[in-house]
Amino acid sequence: MTTRKPSDPKHHQLPGEADIARTYRATGKDEPPASLDAKILAQAQRAVTKPKAHGPFAGRWALPLSTAAMVVLSVGVVLLLNERGALDQQDDRAPLISREAPAHDLARQAPKSPPASARSTTPAPAKAKSALPESTQGVAIAPTAPPENKASGMAAPATAPLLRERRIDESLGATRDEVRVQNKLAKQENSGMRATADVISVQASGPAGAYQFSVGIRSADKGCVQYADWWEVVSTDGKLLYRRVLQHSHVDEQPFTRAGGPVPIQPDTIVWVRAHMNSGGYGTAFKGSVKIGFKQTTLDAEFAAGLTKQAPLPDGCDF
């Protein structure tokens, strides 16, 4: 800062300027006082040599607590590893123990059969109730007597096809008509009569004049040498209205159902529905109409016999 001399004629001092100039000259050095430096140094020394504690566990408890925490954590990790190793060893030994189990232990665990005395005194179970419908439970089905051999005077070995068929029908809930057809087939086999194909059910659907018929048949098929080769719909005056030709035998499918059509009849037209065996002719037939239904009815074996030569006819047998 430049000062103006009082001798300078151009300088005019203001009131108090001389006092300010004197004070400035007395404090020419721009430094803090020594007392302030001493106070700052003393405060810093105390902060370094004696740190201030923070919280209840600071200070002399910090090191012991951290050491104890490390010890507890280490012990927990060791125990966990030991337990894990023990479980792994147990899993490894389990299959060996099961494979090395002695046979006599398994024998002891097996259920023991009751003694003979206990089995002999056990009451016999009640006879199972017949599975046939109520309409057929009263039908008596007995096997035919074995034919007598006149040359030797001894009876031929008895067969029981009727009982075998009866057990099959009881399990399937056969109707009275099916049981009658089974008896007929069994008698034919025992007596050497010619085998026939029997109709056991008839259903019709579709529009009038073009009905679709679904016919159930039971036949003693033995392959192409003996099998049901067609079923047909015949008018009451012996005219062929429709014939469904069968191309193969049904040895392992008895009874079986085959559909065909269209059958050109009206709802109230009375017709016969019958099946043909290639080696034996016609068997049991059904009679009726779409309106009133179809029922099994006895048909003369000579009725419309000439239809066996009328087309369509089978042109072979696949199997």
HEC-encoded secondary structure of 23-70: HHHHCCCCCCCHHHHHHHHHHHHHHHHCCCCCCCCCHHHHHHHHHHHH
Mean pLDDT of 25-32: 67
Mean pLDDT of 281-295: 95
User: With contact defined as beta carbons under 8 Å apart, do 253 and 220 qualify?
Assistant: no
Cα 61–chain centre separation:
70
- Cα–Cα distance for residue pair 160/145, rounded to 1 Å: 10
User: With contact defined as beta carbons under 8 Å apart, do 258 and 215 qualify?
Assistant: yes
Q: With 60 as the cut, is the pLDDT of residue 105 above it?
A: no
Angle, vertex CA 131, rays to CA 139 and CA 198, nearest 5: 55
Boundaries of every domain in the chain: 196-300
- Cα–Cα distance for residue pair 177/295, rounded to 1 Å: 9
- Cα–Cα distance for residue pair 180/189, rounded to 1 Å: 15
User: With contact defined as beta carbons under 8 Å apart, do 234 and 242 qualify?
Assistant: no
How many beta carbons lie within 10 A of that of residue 188, not counting itself?
Answer: 17
Mean pLDDT of 251-265: 95
Per residue in 72-98, pLDDT (tens digit) is 999 989 898 888 777 766 655 554 444
- Cα–Cα distance for residue pair 176/262, rounded to 1 Å: 29
Mean pLDDT of 35-43: 86
Beta strands in 160-210 (DSSP E): 197-205
> Cβ contacts of residue 196 below 8 Å, gap of 6+?
188, 219, 277, 280, 281, 282, 283, 284
**Residue 152: pLDDT band by 50, 70, 90 thresholds?**
very low
* Tokens 């067609």, located at residue: 230
Mean pLDDT of 129-146: 39
Percent share of the chain, pLDDT over 70: 58
**Residue 243: pLDDT band by 50, 70, 90 thresholds?**
very high
pLDDT of residue 103: 47
CA distances from 147 to 95, 153, 154, 180, 220 (A): 67, 11, 9, 21, 21
Task: Pick one of 2.60.40.1490, 2.10.109.10, 2.40.40.20, 3.40.50.300 as the CATH number of 196-300.
Answer: 2.60.40.1490
Task: Give the pairing type, strands 293-297 and 285-289.
Answer: antiparallel
- Cα–Cα distance for residue pair 196/285, rounded to 1 Å: 11
Structure tokens at 290: 């779409």
pLDDT of residue 192: 52
Q: Which 3 state secondary structure label does DSSP give 291?
A: coil
- Cα–Cα distance for residue pair 124/127, rounded to 1 Å: 9
- Rg for the chain, CA atoms, rounded: 59
pLDDT of residue 117: 46
Q: Which of the pair, 91 or 215, is modelled with greater confidence?
A: 215
> Cβ contacts of residue 241 below 8 Å, gap of 6+?
232, 233, 234, 235, 263, 264, 265, 271
Least confident of 60-69, 107-116, 147-156, 291-300: 147-156
Query: What pTM did the predictor assign?
Result: 0.43
- Cα–Cα distance for residue pair 194/198, rounded to 1 Å: 13
Average pLDDT, the chain: 74
Note if the bond before 312 is cis, omega within 30 degrees.
Answer: yes
* Tokens 């035919």, located at residue: 144
Question: What letter represents residue 221's amino acid?
Answer: D
